[in-house]
Structure 1
Amino acid sequence: MKLKKILNNNAVLVVDQGEEKVAIGTGIAFGKKKNDVINPQKVEQLFVMKENEKLQQLLDRIPEEHFLISEEIISYAEKYLGTKLSEHIHIALTDHISFAIERTQDGIHLQNKLLNEIKILYRNEYEIGSWAVQRIREKYDIDIPIDEAAHIALHIHTMKLQGGDYRQTIKHTVIVREMIQLIMQKMAMRFREDDISYQRLVTHLHFALSRVSHYEMHELDQEMLSMIQKKFADSYQCTKEVTDIIQNKYDIYFPESELGYITIHLNRLKQ
């Protein structure tokens, strides 16, 4: 394992078995120069990185300790989830965490309006984000807001294999929140966030959006649908009005079968 380029004191670009890799370890670059052999025992993390230039640009403009805390969070996330994350997480999450720390130190606190939905939809990732926020608080003695746990959760979710596109994930979460607000408004109700029926509704809306986006139909026979429309008329009417608004605004079409399932969830909440 030979050193090709020093990224910072704790990260170097190496050639290992004929392949370029990024090696991370505390003080791994100390006293080293190009073509020096890197002691494998000094390496805490080793991964292939196709975006080496972008990583170098990022490391040039952020404090080294921000990179190290981000790598600590990434390692924790991979162990917690039992899976490797996309290599891009080393750029995307590090950039976000560095900016979040700087904002907090400047007294700027940004509210994450999707916090409650993210807690429900991405429970494991949110647990990791909560751990990360607590770790940053301890390490830097700053009051970084818990809202950041939700931001970190989304980054981790979209960096899992088949985790999805970050923008699409945000869009779906925004739409779910908008649908919940419309339902509360039309039904003149407030929902408790710890209510299992509320959590089931949020989760169902999320997967319903995913299904209709991929043209996957959740079937419901016509006889059952007719019964739901009659027996839960108020809830069905609310569902129809809300999905019509979403269809007009986002060009998302909900088939009748999905309306039936959403109606059942709304009726549970009413009870």
Structure 2
Amino acid sequence: MMLRIHKILNNNAVVVLDEGKEKIVMGPGIAFQKRKNDIIPRTKIEKIFVMEEENEKFQELLRTLPEEHIAVAEEIISYAEGELHAPLNNHIHIALTDHLSFAIERIQQGYQIQNKLLNEIKVLYKKEYQIGLWAKQLIRERLGVEIPDDEVGHIALHIHTAKMDAASMNKTLQQTTLIRDMIELIKQQLHIDIDEESISYQRLLTHLRFALNRIETGELFHTIDEDMLRLIQTKYEKEFACAISMARYAKEEYGIQFPDAELAYITLHIQRLIRKS
């Protein structure tokens, strides 16, 4: 079936009516020298979107944002889907494109972009962060703009939350912030500096992330027998006390309850951290 242009959004994006439903069709130069009702050559079509809930918002972005920003965002999304071997939620075409365009404009105006969760993002979302680094190079090549690593972290979070099984951006930010705060609590309570490049630190972060996911989904935790729990409490008294403080903070601030067995495993991770530091 031939697709005819219903509405032109920009040089590279048009709206078509297909079986009474609006679809957004994208491809380089797809609308060049075209008018309403013209037929779109199928060879020019790269992507077709059906945006059920946010169709108007996406069309507005495509009409108003710089075309080069949109093209770069779409290239990053395609690369991410290839690297993750999975499609991303359609919402990323709005969320990442809007975020990226605004960030690029702020950088060009001389604003500093900051990301307080950067260290945690690097560890918890390694693959997404690597995609962000690829995006950094692409933006430099395509737009001549140098984005900071803090912005790479923001891109990584957008990609992570667009994965089909991932939590929302708010949930992801909340979880990552809680993990950062818990690490800060370890530093303060035990008066240590933590090597954030160390395997011990990375294992603790990963363990906390999976523990929080298990609490969120109601999955069963590893069990630990009473004798082993008492041994850990006695042998690593200050580390166990620190784990209890972390659990109390999670309960008071976020209503998250860590089971006792989990505190024992966190204690062992803290002990390794102290040994390495």
Query: Cα deviation per residue 1:49-103 (whole Å; 9 max; x = unaligned)?
Result: 2222111222233211111111111111111111111111110000000001001
Which of 109, 119, 122 is residue 122 of structure 2 equivalent to?
Answer: 119
Query: Cα deviation per residue 1:86-145 (whole Å; 9 max; x = unaligned)?
Result: 111110000000001001001001210100101111111111111111211222222221
Which whole-Å CA distance do the structure 2 matches of 1:216 and 1:229 have between them? 25
- Aligned pairs for 1:205-216 (under 5 A) are 205-216=208-219
- Aligned pairs for 1:68-107 (under 5 A) are 68-107=71-110
Unaligned runs of 5+ in 2: none
The aligned length equals 271
After TM superposition, the structure 1 stretch with the greater mean CA deviation from structure 2, 77-86 or 53-62, is 53-62
Match of 1:12 in 2: 14
How many angstroms does 1:33 deviate by?
Answer: 2.1
Contact 2:200 2:272 survives alignment (8 Å): yes
Match of 2:247 in 1: 243
Which whole-Å CA distance do the structure 2 matches of 1:20 and 1:264 have between them? 56
Q: Is 1:142 aligned to 2:145, yes or no?
A: yes
After TM superposition, the structure 1 stretch with the greater mean CA deviation from structure 2, 16-25 or 232-241, is 16-25
Which whole-Å CA distance do the structure 1 matches of 2:220 and 2:239 have between them? 21
Match of 2:273 in 1: 269
Q: Is 1:25 aligned to 2:46, yes or no?
A: no
Which of 217, 222, 225 is residue 226 of structure 2 equivalent to?
Answer: 222
Query: Cα deviation per residue 1:147-202 (whole Å; 9 max; x = unaligned)?
Result: 11111111111111111111000000000000001101111111112211100001
Which whole-Å CA distance do the structure 2 matches of 1:52 and 1:121 have between them? 32
Q: Is 1:132 aligned to 2:162, yes or no?
A: no
Unaligned runs of 5+ in 1: none
* Runs ≥4 residues deviating over 6 A: none
Which whole-Å CA distance do the structure 2 matches of 1:250 and 1:125 have between them? 26
User: Partner of 2:36: helix, strand, or coil?
Assistant: coil
Query: Cα deviation per residue 1:3-35 (whole Å; 9 max; x = unaligned)?
Result: 222111101122456654322111101122222
User: Partner of 1:4: helix, strand, or coil?
Assistant: strand
CA RMSD in angstroms comes to 1.5
Q: Which amino acid aligns with 2:16?
A: V
Q: TM-score normalised to the size of structure 1?
A: 0.95
Q: Which amino acid aligns with 1:200?
A: R
Which whole-Å CA distance do the structure 1 matches of 2:144 and 2:10 have between them? 24
Contact 2:136 2:146 survives alignment (8 Å): no
Which whole-Å CA distance do the structure 2 matches of 1:30 and 1:192 have between them? 54
Match of 1:44 in 2: 46
Which whole-Å CA distance do the structure 2 matches of 1:19 and 1:175 have between them? 43
How many angstroms does 1:43 deviate by?
Answer: 1.2
Alignment CA distance shift 1:258-1:4 (3 Å): same
User: Partner of 1:23: helix, strand, or coil?
Assistant: strand
User: Partner of 2:131: helix, strand, or coil?
Assistant: helix
Which whole-Å CA distance do the structure 1 matches of 2:230 and 2:94 have between them? 51
